[in-house]
């Protein structure tokens, strides 16, 4: 009986030894494969990626899979206007050597838009350098997103690429104002003819820094025209002829509810047909009258906005 127990014990010991050897040789390669070195690769936008996966390769940098690498601004960088933008993007982002970027705050308020231009031959499958400068309105919020939109001549959403870079803003007090633009689709009579009236004015909300001259600041922002409109707003039919080359606000004075705005029109761009000049006039007048202290608006010199 004791001999049988001894044999069983020997057999059990052998089996345990075999199992231990199998576990050791099977576990060691798995452990070696799953543990990658702790080194990191610094991406062009300032972020870092680690080695990962069964082959311990570096993970892709932000935007690399989408075909765009942003060098400036860095991710979560504190930015100010004008903002220099630099990077590289693959050729499919461009059309005629251009694509665009828009800046939004954390509440998705539109702050500015710019065209980004290829600095070398853009008809390439490789990464192509691009640059641009974005002048933007200050935000009352601390966080925002710089959104890059690929050129999409087809207009089909499945071909639209969008890449975002988170940014930060300096905290400054802000004031919300209205800029009045024009939508011809809202200004038609019963027969479908455009009336060229105030009925076509459309207000869009924007923000300006608190200052001693909020009326002038708002009018100057309006005169930047298309630079203030988002792609979505333009798709909805909102438009403007501003900016006008050589046309600028020189000064303003308010007395007894009458706001006098003095402009410079070096190239006489405010003249033209009665419909056109009327809409240009209405845009400024309505934008100024949002301020309760403004009851009437006058322009200098008086020959401005004459048909």
- Considering the domain architecture, whether residues 181 and 253 belong to the same structural domain is answered as yes
DSSP state of 93: G
Give Cα 247 to chain centroid, integer Å. Answer: 27
What residues make up the domain containing 285?
Answer: 174-300
pLDDT one digit per residue (tens) for the chain, 307 residues: 555 655 666 666 666 666 665 555 554 444 444 578 778 888 888 788 888 888 888 888 888 889 999 999 999 999 999 999 999 999 999 999 999 999 999 989 999 999 999 999 999 889 999 999 999 987 778 899 999 999 998 888 888 999 999 999 987 778 899 999 999 999 999 999 999 999 999 999 998 888 889 999 999 999 999 888 998 999 999 999 999 999 999 999 999 999 999 999 999 999 999 999 999 999 999 999 999 999 999 999 999 999 8
Residue 101 forms beta bridges with which residues?
114, 148
- Considering the domain architecture, whether residues 161 and 257 belong to the same structural domain is answered as no
Sequence-ordered list of residues with C-beta below 8 angstroms from that of 141, at least 6 positions apart, any chain: 105, 106, 107, 109, 169
H-helix or E-strand spanning residue 131: strand 127-134
Residue 96 lies in a domain: yes
- Considering the domain architecture, whether residues 78 and 122 belong to the same structural domain is answered as yes
Domain boundary pick from 117, 143, 169:
169
Name the token pair of 1.
């009986």
């Amino acid at each position: 009986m004791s001999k049988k127990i001894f044999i069983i014990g020997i057999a059990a010991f052998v089996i345990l030894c075999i199992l231990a050897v199998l576990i050791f040789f099977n576990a060691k390669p798995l452990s070696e494969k799953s543990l990658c070195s702790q080194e990191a690769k610094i991406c062009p936008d300032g972020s870092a990626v680690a080695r990962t996966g069964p082959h311990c390769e570096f993970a892709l940098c932000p935007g690399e899979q989408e075909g765009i690498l942003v060098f400036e601004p860095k991710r979560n960088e504190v930015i100010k206007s004008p903002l220099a933008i630099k990077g590289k993007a693959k050729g499919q982002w461009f059309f005629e050597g251009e694509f665009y970027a828009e800046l939004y705050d954390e509440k998705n308020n539109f702050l500015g838009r710019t065209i980004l231009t290829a600095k070398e031959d853009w008809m390439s499958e490789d990464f192509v350098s691009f640059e641009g400068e974005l002048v933007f309105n200050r935000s009352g919020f601390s966080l925002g997103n710089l959104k890059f939109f690929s050129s999409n001549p087809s207009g089909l959403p499945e071909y639209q690429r969008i890449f975002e870079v988170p940014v930060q803003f300096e905290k400054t007090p802000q004031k919300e104002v209205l800029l009045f633009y024009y939508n011809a689709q809202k200004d038609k009579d019963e027969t479908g003819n455009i009336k060229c009236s105030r009925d076509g004015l459309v207000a869009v909300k924007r923000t300006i820094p608190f200052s001693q001259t909020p009326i002038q600041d708002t009018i100057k922002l309006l005169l930047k025209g298309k630079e203030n409109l988002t792609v979505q707003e333009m798709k909805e039919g909102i438009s403007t002829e501003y900016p006008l080359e050589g046309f600028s606000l020189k000064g303003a004075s308010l007395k007894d509810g009458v706001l006098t705005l003095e402009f410079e029109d070096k190239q006489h761009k405010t003249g033209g047909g009665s419909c056109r000049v009327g809409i240009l006039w209405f845009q400024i007048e309505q934008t100024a009258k949002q301020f309760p202290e403004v009851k009437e608006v006058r322009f200098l010199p008086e020959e401005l906005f004459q048909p």
